[in-house]
Structures are given as structure tokens and as C-alpha cells.
Amino acid sequence: MLKTGSTAQGTAIKRLMADQIKLTNSQEAGVHAEPSRKTMLIWNGHVIGPEGSYYEGGKFYITLYFPKDYPQKPPEVKFTSHIFHPNIFFNGEICLEELEEDWDPNYDVLSILLLVQHLLREPNFSSPANPKASKLFRKNEEEYKDVVKACIEKNKEDEDEIQNKKQTIGYY
């Protein structure tokens, strides 16, 4: 018999399995995530920059770390690819009220991904995690846009390099 650990962890895993089914069946464009191979409590995915935003055309990788008492507690969500944004710390951590004090246990993986994608469209300047990005956005939007586009290009280069390495070692 497979042991799931604590009751809370078992509840979290059951919920994440339901979240996975919902996400798989979703028709939402521009968001994707799936559990890691090692544990259901860590998911890897990406968010596509929303159309009409400075991040349009960008693909930004994220990792979601779910606590054992999810959905009562929110996951930690971190960008693992380059991004320049007023609400994202330099280490990739996201400053988003819905993932902190405004967490609602009814949020699921899909809604979390959509919240992150929405943040790319509409930064919250009242509590910047990256003061440099916030200041630049307010001072010179064109320069801000150039820095964001440079991040998008860097991510594309990194992704191309990874794909080339996979082909070289016969990963496919």
C-alpha cells in the first residue's frame, strides 16, 4: 500500500491531481504547467506574454512549489527565466497579493497561471518588488519596453541552446 505521508499532503496531492485534469482539459491559451517527475508538489510550466502587453511574444518559464497543506496555503511561484517586471524580484519570486495575503483556497493551478499572466499585462505599482523596473516604467516606457524585449530575446536564445543540446545528445 502506497503511503502519502500526512493527511494534509494526501489532500494536497488529490487536489493537484484534480487541478492537473482541469488544466489538461482547459482551452486557455498561453499557460501550461505539469508536475515534475519527482513529486506532485513541484510543477514546471510557462506563461506566454499576453497579447498587447510589453511581454507579448515572450515565453517565461516558472516553477510552482506547493506546500503540503495546499490548497489551504498558496504555492510559491518563481520565474526561472529572465524577466524584468515591477512585481518580480531579481531571484524570480513573484509579489502578487493573490499568492500571499489574498490567497483563496478555491484558486487552482490554472487560475494561478492566469493570475501570473495577468500580472504581466497589468503590473501593480503600489508594492514594487523590483524598484528599478518600476522606476524605469514610470520614467521612460520606451526604455522599459526595450529592456523587456531584450529579456524575451535572451529567453529565446536560451531555449534554442537547450533544444540544440538535446538534439546533439539524442534526447529526442
Mind telling me the catalytic residues? 95
50 secondary structure, DSSP code: P
The CA dihedral of 106, 87, 84, 82, to the nearest 10 degrees, is -40
Q: How many CB atoms lie within 10 A of CB 10?
A: 13
For residue 105 the three cell numbers come to 483556497
Rounded to whole angstroms, what are the CA distances from 129 to 1, 93, 97, 102?
45, 9, 12, 17
